[in-house]
A and B are shown apart, each in its own frame.
Chain A
Amino acid sequence: MSIKETANEIFYNRIQEETPDGEKLRNCLQCGNCSGICPFGYVMVYPPSRMIAEIRANRFEKILGTENVWMCVSCYACTSVCPAKIPLTAGLMTGAKEELLLAGNVPSELQIALENSQRYGNPLGESPRKRADWAREIQPEVKIMGKFRQPVDVLWFVGDYPSYHPRVQLIAKSMAKILNALNINFGILGPEEVSDGDSQRLAGEHGLFEMLAEKNGSAFSKYEFKEIITTDPHAFNAIKNEYPKLGISYPVRHYTEYLAENIDRIIPMIKNDINARVTYHDPCYLGRANNIFEQPRTLIQNLPGVELVEMPHNLNNSLCCGGGGGGMWLDGFQWEKSHVRLSEWRIQEALSTGANILAVACPYETPRFEDACKNIDKTGKLRVLDIAELLTESMGI
C-alpha cells in the first residue's frame, strides 16, 4: 500500500467511525442532490457528491490541496436532502475541514477567529472580562452567577455576538428586558462564559471545541439552575447535541421555545401594534438542524397588526445566511471565490415577499442581513429585527 492510499483510507474510515450513522457514507448513490442544493455547490471544485467519488477513487489528497472545502457554510442543506441519509455536514464536510486544518491549509481570516477563540474565549478577540458589559444598564440588574451565587431557575447562555457585537448587544438587552418583565429568576455566566464552540467545531477545530465546552461545562457545574436557555441557535445545537457526548448534559431550549411556552403571559403585556408585513428566516441550526419551526412563528403571529408571509425558501428549505461552519469568519475568502453573498440572495427573497420586516432568531443574522441590505435594499424599506426585538417593541419596554 502506498502512503497516499493509507491517508485516504484513514480519512474514509475515521469519518465513518467518528460520526453517528457515519457508515451510511458507503451507501452514497452519487445522485448529486447534495451538490445541487448546496448554496455554494457551483463554486466548489469538489462539492459533497464529488468529494465522495474522489475518496472512493483513493484521491482524497487532491481535495487537501484545494481550498474549496472552506466554501462550505455547514448549513445542513445537503444532509437534509440526502436520500441515503448520510451525515454529510457533520461527517464529511467537517471531517475534511479537520484534515485541512491539520495540514495548515486555513484562510488567515479564519485562523484569527480560531486563535482568538482559544486565547480570549470568543472569536472577536475581545477581553473576556468585558463579556457582560452589555448588561450594565439593565434594570433590574442582570444577575451574574459568579457574584450572585444563589440558585436561579434559568441560566441564560448569552453567546459571543450578543455579548460583544454592538448590533447584536441590542438583542441581548431586549432579551434581558423580556425576562425581567416576565419576572423570570435568571442568571448569566458573564465573564465565566466562553464561546459555545459549535461553529469552530464545524470549521474543523474539534480540539478547540472540546476545550471551550470543557470550560463552559465546568462553569455550569458550579451553579444551580433548572434549565439553560439561549439566544443563539449554534449554542443551542452544541449544548443539546454535542456537549452530552463530552459528559456535559443539561436541559436546554432556544429562547423562542421558552417564550412560546410563556405566550399567555406575554400577550397581556403587549401594548403596541407592529402593523407590518413580516417574513421569518428559519436559521439553519434552529430549523433544519433541530426541527424548530413553529415556536418562532407563534411568537410573531401573536403580535398585533402583523401579517406573516413566507419566503419561497422556508422551513426545511431555508437559505443559509452564510455564517455557519466558520463562514462568519470567511466572508472575504468566500467573496473572492464566488462574488456572491448568500445573505444578499436572502434579502432579495425577503424583498420579493413585500415584507417590511425580516424577522430572525440567530445572532449571526442581524449583522449579516443588515450589511446585505445596504447593498441590495438601498431605499431602507426592509428592517431586520430579531424576534426578541419585535417583542420588546410591541411590549413597549
Chain B
Amino acid sequence: MKILVFIKLVPDLVEELSIDPNGTALDTTWMRMIINEFDDHALEQAILLKEKQTADVIVIAPDVEGVDEVLFTALAKGADQVIKLTGDFSNANNHAFARAFTPYINNIQPDLILTGVQANSDIDGSIGPLIAACQNQPFIGYVSGVILEDKRAIVRKEYPGGVIAEMSVSLPAVLGIQSAEQPPRYVAVSKVRQVMKTANIEEHQFDAIDISGSPKTNRMFQPETSTHAEMIEGNPDEIADRLVSVFKEKGIL
C-alpha cells in the first residue's frame, strides 16, 4: 500500500498579518509559515494507517521557508520518504500545486492520497478535489476516520449537526482529512535532529507553474469591522456586576 500525503505551509496567525505595498498579496517579511494544521492531521492519519497495516508513507511539500523542518519531522514521525518540490512558488495557487504533483503521482502510483480538508490560505478552493480531478480520481472531504481495505477505503465524512456519513470509495482515491483518529503525535526534538543528520529530503525542481483556475486578485485588505462588541472594562468584580445587569435587562435573571 502506498499512501501519499500532500503538505502545505500556511501563514501562522499568531503573528500579525499585513498586506504588501502592492496591495494584492500578503507581506511576507515577518510572516511565519507553519504546517497547515489539517495537513498535520492528514500526516498523522497516514502514519496511523501505516501502523495498522504495511504501507509506505510518502510526503510531498512545496519549498517554502520552514519546509525542511516539517519534512524531517514527518520522517521522525514515521514517514518513509519525503520529497520537496523546488521552484519559484511565490505566486502559486492550489491549482498550480495540484498540476505540479501530477507527474509524481503518476510515477509513484499511490493507492491513497491524503491531504488536509482546507488551509487558511486557500483562495481557489481546497487542494484535495483539485488533485483528485487532475488524476480523475474520486474525492471525499471532511473525513474524520479511515479504514483501508485492499481495493477500497471506508471513511467517515462529517456533515453539520454532528451527523456522520459512513462511505466507501474505491482506490485509488483522494481524501481531505478534517481530523485524524488521534491528535498529531509529539516527536522529541532530539529525534528530529537525529533524522536531520542521517536522512535525506529528495528534491525535484519544478519550473512550469500553471496558475490558471483562479480569478485574478484585485486587492487584499484587512476587514473593517463595522460592528464591534461593547467592551466592558474594570476589575473582575466590576465586570461581573455589569454582566449581571445585562442579564437582568435581557430577562435572563
Does chain A bind chain B? yes
Q: A119-B34, A127-B14, A127-B15 given as contacts; is B193 within 8 A of A207 (CB)? A: yes
Choice from A115, A119, A129, A211 contacting B186 with Cβ under 8 Å: A115
Q: A207-B191, A207-B192, A207-B193 given as contacts; is B186 within 8 A of A104 (CB)? A: yes
Choice from A101, A108, A119 contacting B188 with Cβ under 8 Å: A101
Once bound together, how far apart are the Cα atoms of A159 and B30, in whole Å?
Answer: 23
Choice from A98, A108, A204 contacting B183 with Cβ under 8 Å: A108
Q: Which of B32, B189, B192, B193 has the most CB of A within 10 A?
A: B189
**Interface flag for B218 (CB, 8 Å):** no
**Interface flag for B185 (CB, 8 Å):** yes
**Interface residues of B, count at CB 8 A:** 17
Contacts of A205 in B (CB 8 A): 188-190
Contacts of A101 in B (CB 8 A): 186, 188
How many pairs of residues, A versus B, come closer than 8 Å at their CB atoms? 44
Quick one: CB contact mask for A209-226 with B, threshold 8 Å, 1 for yes? 011000000000000000
Q: A108-B183, A129-B30 given as contacts; is B14 within 8 A of A118 (CB)? A: no
A126 touches B14 (CB 8 A): yes
Once bound together, how far apart are the Cα atoms of A104 and B191, in whole Å?
Answer: 11
Measured CB to CB, the nearest residue on chain A to B187 is A104
B14 touches A102 (CB 8 A): no
**Interface flag for A206 (CB, 8 Å):** yes
- B140-193 interface (Cβ within 8 A of A): 183, 185-193
Once bound together, how far apart are the Cα atoms of A101 and B187, in whole Å?
Answer: 8
Measured CB to CB, the nearest residue on chain B to A108 is B183
**Interface residues of A, count at CB 8 A:** 23
Quick one: CB contact mask for A112-135 with B, threshold 8 Å, 1 for yes? 001100111000011101000000
**Interface flag for A111 (CB, 8 Å):** yes
Once bound together, how far apart are the Cα atoms of A118 and B191, in whole Å?
Answer: 13
- Min C-beta distance of A128 to chain B, whole Å: 9
Measured CB to CB, the nearest residue on chain B to A114 is B186
A104 touches B190 (CB 8 A): no
**Interface flag for A144 (CB, 8 Å):** no
**Interface flag for A106 (CB, 8 Å):** yes
A211 touches B189 (CB 8 A): yes
B15 touches A102 (CB 8 A): no
- Min C-beta distance of B242 to chain A, whole Å: 21
Once bound together, how far apart are the Cα atoms of A277 and B15, in whole Å?
Answer: 45
- Min C-beta distance of A113 to chain B, whole Å: 11
Contacts of A111 in B (CB 8 A): 186
Q: A119-B34, A207-B191 given as contacts; is B14 within 8 A of A125 (CB)? A: yes
Q: A115-B186, A125-B14, A129-B15 given as contacts; is B191 within 8 A of A102 (CB)? A: yes
- B1-28 interface (Cβ within 8 A of A): 12, 14-16
Once bound together, how far apart are the Cα atoms of A98 and B191, in whole Å?
Answer: 11
**Interface flag for A170 (CB, 8 Å):** no
Once bound together, how far apart are the Cα atoms of A264 and B128, in whole Å?
Answer: 70
Choice from B14, B30, B32, B190 contacting A207 with Cβ under 8 Å: B190
Once bound together, how far apart are the Cα atoms of A101 and B32, in whole Å?
Answer: 27
Measured CB to CB, the nearest residue on chain A to B77 is A104
A207 touches B189 (CB 8 A): yes
B34 touches A102 (CB 8 A): no
**Interface flag for A81 (CB, 8 Å):** no
Once bound together, how far apart are the Cα atoms of A98 and B23, in whole Å?
Answer: 48
Contacts of B192 in A (CB 8 A): 207
B186 touches A208 (CB 8 A): no
- A241-275 interface (Cβ within 8 A of B): none
| Contacts A/B (CB < 8 Å), 9 sampled | A104-B185, A104-B187, A127-B16, A129-B15, A205-B188, A205-B189, A207-B188, A207-B189, A207-B192
Residues of B within 8 A of A (CB): 12, 14-16, 30, 32, 34, 183, 185-193
Q: Which 8 residue pairs of A and B lie closest in terms of their CB atoms, listed nearest first?
A: A207-B190, A207-B189, A208-B189, A111-B186, A101-B188, A106-B186, A104-B185, A127-B15
Residues of A within 8 A of B (CB): 98, 101-102, 104, 106, 108, 111, 114-115, 118-120, 125-127, 129, 204-208, 210-211
Q: A102-B188, A204-B188 are in contact. List 9 more A-B contacts (CB 8 A).
A: A101-B186, A102-B190, A102-B191, A106-B186, A111-B186, A115-B186, A127-B14, A127-B15, A207-B190
